[in-house]
Amino acid sequence: MRDLIVPKRLCAGDTIALISISGGRAGDPDMLARYKTGKSRLEEIFSVKVIETPHALMGSQFIYEHPEKRAEDLMWALENDEVKGIICIMGGNESYRVLPYIDPQVIHDNPKVFMGYSDIASWLAVFMYAGVRAYYGPNVLNPIAQPGSLDKYTEEAIRKTLFTGDVIGEIKPCERYTNTNWTATSGDEIEWTENTGYKVLQGEGKVQGRLISVCGGPLWQIMGTRYYPSKEMWEDSIIAIEHGMAFNSESDFTAYHQLSSYAASGAFDKAKAILTGPLNDKMEEILLKVINTEIGRTDMVIIENVDFIHRVPMTVLPTGALTEIDCDNKTITVLESGCR
């Protein structure tokens, strides 16, 4: 993987822009209160000033119908000297429609913290194409605005990765987790499950590589565009991938075709390891079929149940950060800082 520009860390008092680069639900009447909760938490917990990009709260219909306005918002935030960082309000499923309207040179010339997950995986690839590190991590509506309060695991991951220049160090498994909840009105309604920690599906010893975060469907959509990572970017990488039923939302058929498409693109050929969420037996079978049988990578380290997926809490994964996996001790350690 080639070197990426590392953005400056955020500080108390900085201005952060919130953007609807994918879905636009934050501007819908039934979601506005949750959005305001997330905004106020960012302000109170991290002592930052939070603003919206010009079209962020125009509502889901407007956001869907105007991909060019989403692009304008990104360019506006990047070129606005007041704005020091950008956090995505939510994911979605069609960020690819925005790509024709952006100028990657603007991203390169204005490197800033940019964070989100799910459909935002496409944007991490765009930033990588532009030569800039971005961050796979919490969106505003979830988990930042989760009912009750922002959990300490997620808060500490954001603070350590985006607000310091310290080496991130070991990313430990969360102690407990819960699925995304869109209907609860208080933390008392949330059901938590005790976490079992990381699972080594395959591999032994230690490996090092540089992080690339992938959400199966969104990155699948941009294959064939200039923004899909080149073979050079996949080389010596640790691929954090949510594929198919990693969060039990897609069919076995879809999961297999996503994984085999990435295999056909060369993504796994020279990668060092795969991180993923918890997998059921069928998903493990499909993943091993593609990695071991179809491309012959029986040496590939595969670690399950890592906290970057569609559940709460979440860690933050900086694109391109040198990371070490110790299979024997079941540890994942980021060996550099998230920001400079």
Residue 184 is predicted with a pLDDT of 72
Going by the DSSP 8-state scheme, the letter that residue 244 receives in this structure is G
Single out the residue of 192, 121, 119 nearest to residue 151, CA to CA: 192
The rounded distance, in Å, linking the Cα atoms of 140 and 248 is 22
Assess whether pLDDT exceeds 90 at residue 255: no
Single out the residue of 213, 39, 202, 235 nearest to residue 126, CA to CA: 213
Assess whether pLDDT exceeds 80 at residue 286: yes
Residue 244 is predicted with a pLDDT of 52
Beta strands across the sheet bearing 317-318: 49-52, 15-19, 83-88, 113-116, 135-136, 317-318
Side-chain-facing half-sphere of 80: CA atoms under 13 Å: 19
State the pairing for strand pair 49-52/15-19.
Answer: parallel
Mean pLDDT of 242-270: 79
Single out the residue of 259, 319, 255 nearest to residue 126, CA to CA: 319
Residue 247 is predicted with a pLDDT of 45
Q: What is the DSSP string of 133-183?
A: --EE--BTTTBTT-SS---HHHHHHHHHHHS--SEEEE-PPPSEEEE--SS
Domain spanning 15-167 has what CATH number? Answer: 3.40.50.10740
Residue 169 is predicted with a pLDDT of 98
Listed in sequence order, the residues at least 6 apart from 39 whose beta carbon sits closer than 8 Å to its beta carbon are 18, 50, 140
Same fold, 15-167 and 176-180+186-337: no
Residue 257 is predicted with a pLDDT of 87
Calculate Rg over the CA atoms of the chain: 19
The rounded distance, in Å, linking the Cα atoms of 221 and 6 is 26
List the structure tokens of 247: 């969060």
Assess whether pLDDT exceeds 90 at residue 249: no
Whole-number percent of the chain with pLDDT over 90: 88
Mean model confidence pLDDT for the chain = 94
Assess whether pLDDT exceeds 70 at residue 250: no
* Maximum CA extent, the chain: 52
Q: Residue 253: pLDDT band by 50, 70, 90 thresholds?
A: confident
Assess whether pLDDT exceeds 80 at residue 77: yes
3-state secondary structure 52-102: ECCCCCCCHHHHHHCHHHHHHHHHHHHHCCCEEEEEECCCCCCHHHHHHHC
Listed by start position, the domains of the chain span 15-167, 176-180+186-337
Mean pLDDT of 2-22: 97
| C-alpha of 296 from chain center | 28
Assess whether pLDDT exceeds 70 at residue 144: yes
176-180+186-337 belongs to CATH 3.50.30.60: yes
Assess whether pLDDT exceeds 70 at residue 106: yes
Q: Model confidence over 179-232: pLDDT tens digits?
A: 888 877 777 888 999 999 999 999 999 999 999 999 988 998 999 999 999 999
Single out the residue of 238, 167, 236, 235 nearest to residue 6, CA to CA: 167
Assess whether pLDDT exceeds 50 at residue 246: no
Mean pLDDT of 268-282: 95
Mean pLDDT of 295-316: 97
Q: Residue 243: pLDDT band by 50, 70, 90 thresholds?
A: low
Assess whether pLDDT exceeds 50 at residue 245: no
